[in-house]
A and B are shown apart, each in its own frame.
Chain A
Amino acid sequence: MSAVFDSALAELNERHRDEVLAAFAALEHGREPVPEAQLLALRDATVRRDLQRLLYRLGRTLVRVGSTHWTSGFRDDVVARLAAEGATAQSRIDRAVLVLVLVHSVAIPRSQGLVSGDSWTSAHPTSVDELTRYTQLPRGEIRPALQRLRAAGLVQIAPPRGRSAVTDGPAYLPGPALHRLTKAARERLEHELILAAAPDSPLAAAIRARRPAAAPAPVAAAADPATSTTERNEDT
């Protein structure tokens, strides 16, 4: 079949091979993170390493969600390359709208102490008003952008809550695709958001000061896939 898959899984017996492929399909094609208990290749650390090796070959990596679920995401070094190339399906307006949803649904609840942890998903809805009425974005482009973001799983419509949904139109939440951010990407996103929202703050200065030292790390690690593919990305 596929040379990539064959070479990545060459050493596995047939059963483990099937387990790895099923887990690969579940993580890569599935909408939500998959419970560890459901698949052997997630449950069993040895088989999971094989799964990680396969994902790594394809520019992907395992991402742990909470303590019991897994999904897959881009390798951090690959992200850097693709971002530099501009290989992306989301337009600028799409990204701008996504950032607004992240500010309202994640950053603000965190400032209020309502949410802990480092997830970029959230149960705090962003109202359409907040996106259309109170921003500098061209109003007519926001709804199409939301549709495209929905198609990519980057935002989702918040479950209606009582009357508010009827009166204010739909509200949005960050979508399940945000689970696919690696731990490093999640932290980087926090920093980018702080840099953009408060560029003159000492916090931003501190982030910038830490940058040069932090940047080369993933590249260096990526240079040695043999040691870095497996355990490194099994973040908690």
Chain B
Amino acid sequence: MTAGPELTLDQLAGDAAVERLYRQVFAVLARESGAMISDLELLDVDEAILDAFADAGRDGLTVDQAVAACRPIDPGLIHRRFEVLRDYGAISKVVDRPNERFHRAAFAPYVMLLFLRRLAEQGGQAELHQLLTLEHVSVTAPDAEPETGQTTISRLTRIFRHLGNELAILAAGSTAEQLGDHAQLLWGNKGLISQAEEVHTVVLNRWPQLDRECTALRVALAAYGDAVEKAAGRLIERAGTTRALGLLSVETWLSFARTANEDDLAGVLDTFVFDAPAPWFSPNLLTEAVESGRGANTVRQPPPRPEGPAAPPPDDVRPADDAASLRETAERLLGDGDAVAVSDVLDDAGDWLAARRLLADLTAIHHHPDLAYELTWSDGLHVDPGGSPSWVSDGTFRRGRTEDAA
């Protein structure tokens, strides 16, 4: 914008330098000499080569050294990329002579590579913010001229026209997939707009004569805002129920999950209703559970003697000492004899309820460490350590229990 039709030698030299830089910078995007890359993996290869140069120090690298440093990448691929990078001047001989084998790498392509990756990953938001910050710095500098303001404003106007155009075109005619892929363009737009507005305010206050340029920026910003809205609306409409969630970044979700309070989280479901827990317990299930509990009792548990030395009975669940009343029961049942059939005892009890209670008492008496009575079953199995209680077999209740009476 400063150059007239006649270029000076300095300017020509300067242009040549710029062109050289451009060539270097775009080397990383060259598929081969003269064509854009189509395979993003080539970027990884370029990065590996440039990394190798960074690590090699001032001696530089030969092609073979680069291949070795880039293992396990295919040597053929390294050779080809090496040539492309050299064609574009991103890599050059350390000394420009025919037999020179050592090369050095320019730093600009590497910076460009990083920049491109960031741009690709984050949609260029951060770069735009940085650019706006720089513009702000430049228009607030004490020695800034009206030309600075004008350049800044027209640059911003163009940027936002570009952004707005891209979104408007996308919103008008693309699929949800295409829109979703460009969703990053939509995020953080408020921040961008307000940053641009700040620059705008500075310029307008400082150089009121730039009113026309500033108006153009305002129009561009408004158009961008509209385009964002339209594209977002379309995105939601098109995304339907299958893609909407994917339109927010992982970072957004994580930060929500980690910073939101209980009300914010729960509020998501304020308008939803779910079933209350309603498990079904069939009588058969209850019966089976009870039976299996009894079985498991002796299979995997230590002797069922709650009052054994290892586990003293908690007072809140068992009468302090029922030995006396149990002994009374035992004596009443046995009378003068030494043994009595359980079935007889139960028959005498009258109803099932009483019989059941009596059976529980007999079991308790049997297990009581201070009482020398024994409950055995007709199949020979005792209700004690090695035994397996059988609640259907006939049994005998008798005095004396060899191991515990001692």
Contact = CB atoms under 8 A, between A and B. Distances in A.
Interface of A: 29, 74, 78-80, 82-83, 87-90, 92-93, 95-100, 103-104, 106-108, 110-113, 116-118, 130, 134-138, 148, 151-154, 177, 180-181, 183, 185-194, 196-198, 200-203, 205-207, 209-210
A137 B277 CA distance: 23
A185 B268 CA distance: 12
A185 B274 CA distance: 11
B164 to A, nearest CB: 13
B241 A209 contact: no
B95 interface: no
A206 B229 contact: yes
A135 B261 CA distance: 8
Contacts of B277: 89, 148, 151-153
26 contacts: A29-B280, A79-B273, A83-B271, A90-B274, A96-B262, A96-B263, A98-B269, A100-B265, A106-B245, A108-B253, A112-B250, A118-B241, A134-B257, A136-B262, A137-B261, A151-B277, A180-B274, A187-B241, A189-B272, A191-B244, A196-B264, A196-B267, A196-B268, A197-B248, A197-B252, A200-B190
A110 B186 contact: no
A75 to B, nearest CB: 10
Interface stretch (B12-20, B40-48, B78-86, B232-240): B232-240
Interface majority SS on A: helix, strand, loop or mixed?
A: helix
Interface in B26-62: none
A89 B256 contact: no
Residue in B231, B248, B276 with the greatest tally of chain A CB atoms within 10 Å: B248
Contacts of B279: 151
A107 B253 contact: yes
B281 to A, nearest CB: 12
Given A74-B273, A82-B273, 12 more contacts: A29-B278, A83-B271, A88-B273, A88-B276, A96-B262, A104-B257, A187-B244, A196-B260, A196-B265, A203-B186, A203-B232, A205-B229
B275 A180 contact: yes
Contacts of B229: 202, 205-206, 209
**Shortest Cβ-Cβ A-B pairs, 4 listed:** A89-B276, A202-B232, A197-B256, A96-B265
Given A80-B271, A111-B246, A206-B233, A92 B266 contact: yes
Contacts of A112: 250
